[in-house]
Amino acid sequence: MEESFNQEILRAQRQQHPIGVIMLDIDHFKQFNDTFGHDAGDYVLQVVAEVLKNSVRGSDIACRYGGEEMTLIMPELSLPAICDRAEAIRTAISQLHLNHNGQNLNTLTASIGVACFPQHGTTPMAVIKAADGALYRAKANGRNCAIVATLS
């Protein structure tokens, strides 16, 4: 992810285009895992990954950042466009009806932080940090929402 993002930043600087970043965390995933088991948790991660796969373009970078946290790097998407994409992803996840091994699973929700190069930072780590900070604000605001990073 870091190497690809560095390359995208250099390209964006040359071509003067933005890069949108989404940090996504599945809400209460540990509780979900504890209630339904790790097999169900793995299934949820696969389903959410499929939602993300269907929400990105071929030039976008989608990766698991750690645990139940995912990151999308979307070159040439402005801040309004990345916000729209984040909300569409959040909605798609909340509308999933999951069944695993004959058991209906609880509704999933996701908290999302959104940032954009160059508004929220001029280095990959600065933009990721801004999106991650927005993600934590989304969690603090009750979860199941998308929050835009603040300008520094």
Q: Which of 8, 50, 68, 76 is flagged as catalytic?
A: 68
Q: φ and ψ at 54, to 5 degrees?
A: -80, -5
- Pick from 98, 107, 75, 89: nearest CA to 145: 89
Q: φ and ψ at 112, to 5 degrees?
A: -135, 135
| Cβ proximity of 61 and 94 under 8 Å | no
Half-sphere exposure of 75 (CA within 13 A, CB side): 17
Distance CA 105, CA 123 (A): 39
User: Is 68 one of the catalytic residues?
Assistant: yes
Q: Which residues are catalytic?
A: 68
